[in-house]
Structure 1
C-alpha cells in the first residue's frame, strides 16, 4: 500500500511539473507576449545605430563600417515574400553569427536576460525564447516591404 501511495504521489508531482511547464509555455505565469511597439523601442535602443531608424541600413554607424548593415525591410522580399523567422532569430540571438570570420553584428547579452515566452519559428513548435529577442523579431517582421 505504501508503494502505491508513493507512486501516486510521484505521478501527481510529475503531472504538476508538466502542467506548470505547459502553463508557462502558454504564457500564463510569465511575462505577456511582446508587442510590436515594445520591439520598436528595443530596436531603437539596440539596432538603429547601424540599421537606421527605419531599418534600411543607414544608421549613424553605417558609414564607418566596412560591410554595410543589412536593409531589414527587404528580408521577406529576398525570401519569396516569406519572413524566415528561424533564420532572423538566429541572427538576432547570435547563433548564426558564431561562424563569422569578420566583425559583424555585436552580441547583445542583455537581450537574453528577459523572461521566456513561447516562440514559434515557423515549424509549429513553441520554444521558450527570451521575450526581448521575440519583441525585436516581431518589430522587424512588421517593417517588411511588400510588392
Structure 2
C-alpha cells in the first residue's frame, strides 16, 4: 500500500509540474502566504515585514536577468526548500521545505515530503512566470 501511495503522490507532483497554468495558480497562492510578507505582493522586495529584517529584501522579478537571461530553476528550488543545508540570505529566510512538510496534509496518500515538494515546485513555477 505504501508503494501505491508514493506513486499517487508522485503522479500529483508530475501533473502539477507538467501544467504551468495550474502551477501558476497554486504558486501564486503559495507566494501570497509564504513570500509576500517580506518580498511584497508585487515581488519587488517591499513587503510589510521587509523593514524589520537585517538584510535588504530582494526583488524576485529579475532572477532571470541576473542569471544570463536563464531562470535559475534549481537554485531557486533549493533556496526556497532550504533543507539541503544551504541557507538563503545567511539565516534570515525560513526553511520552507520543513515548514511545508510539517503542515502537510493529504487526502490522496502523498507523503508529507511529496506535498512539501509539490508546494515548492508550484512556487518556483510562479516565480518563473513573473520574471521581467
TM-score norm. by structure 2 comes to 0.71
Alpha-carbon distance in structure 1 between the residues aligned to 2:30 and 2:55: 23
Q: Distance in 2 between matches of 1:97 and 1:60?
A: 27
Unaligned runs of 5+ in 1: 1-16, 117-127
Q: Distance in 2 between matches of 1:75 and 1:96?
A: 21
Question: Is 1:47 aligned with 2:47?
Answer: no
Q: Which secondary structure does the structure 2 equivalent of 1:72 belong to?
A: coil
Structure ID, larger Rg? 1
Unaligned runs of 5+ in 2: 17-21
Question: Counterparts in 2 of 1:106-121, with a 5 A limit?
Answer: 106-108=94-96, 109-112=98-101, 113=104, 115=110
1:56 aligned to 2:56? no
CA-based RMSD: 3.0
Bigger fraction of residues in helix: 2
Q: What residue is the counterpart of 1:91 in the other structure?
A: 79
Higher strand fraction (1 or 2): 1
Structure 2 match to 1:4? none
Distance apart, 1:99 and its partner CA: 4.9
Cα pair distance change 1:134/1:103, threshold 3 Å = same
Larger RCO: 1 or 2 (CA < 8 Å, sep 6+): 2
Aligned residues: 114
